Amino acid sequence: MNTFKEFIIWYNKVYQASAQPLKSFLRASFNGIEGDFSAKSRDAFLVENEEHVNIFIKQCIDDLDGKVGEWIKNWFTWTSALATMDDNENLCGSWRDTAYFCLLERIQGREAACSWAQALDSESWPELQAAQIRYLRSEVCRGT
């Protein structure tokens, strides 16, 4: 698949009037994982002194030994990563479809990933999400 940088160049060219700085798409915080990516996950942890640092480190270790560690282990194969995305609809936010396409391409090949992208109805989606699908169809899947 073309690089993220190539998508940004294409997006800025096609959507000049509304182009905005874009962020990386594969990011998940421990709080989000612990809260099953629900809107109400744990509050942000503020570190104000050395005692707070120790509490924060302990929380991170507990998370890695618990639910967060189990979630991370799901990303060690392409197939389990795709299953994790199937189970967590909010994962990757507005970049979900691009991440899903990449995983599907790794597992089943470009033709299957392009068929999946072609079948999506993105007409009523927000511009950035619809642009990603349009990019996949016109630039990545061209000729498949």
Give residue-wise pLDDT tens across range 26-77: 456 777 777 777 766 667 777 777 887 888 888 888 888 888 888 888 777 8
Would you place residue 6 in the very low, low, confident or very high pLDDT band (cuts 50, 70, 90)? confident
Which pLDDT score is estimated for 26?
44
Would you place residue 24 in the very low, low, confident or very high pLDDT band (cuts 50, 70, 90)? very low
Would you place residue 23 in the very low, low, confident or very high pLDDT band (cuts 50, 70, 90)? very low
Those residues whose C-beta lies under 8 Å from the C-beta of residue 94, and which sit 6 or more positions away, are 25, 126, 128, 129
Greatest mean pLDDT among 1-5, 46-50, 124-128 lies in: 124-128
Which pLDDT score is estimated for 19?
53
Which pLDDT score is estimated for 98?
86
The verdict on pTM exceeding 0.75 is no
Torsion sign over Cα 67, 25, 104, 115: positive
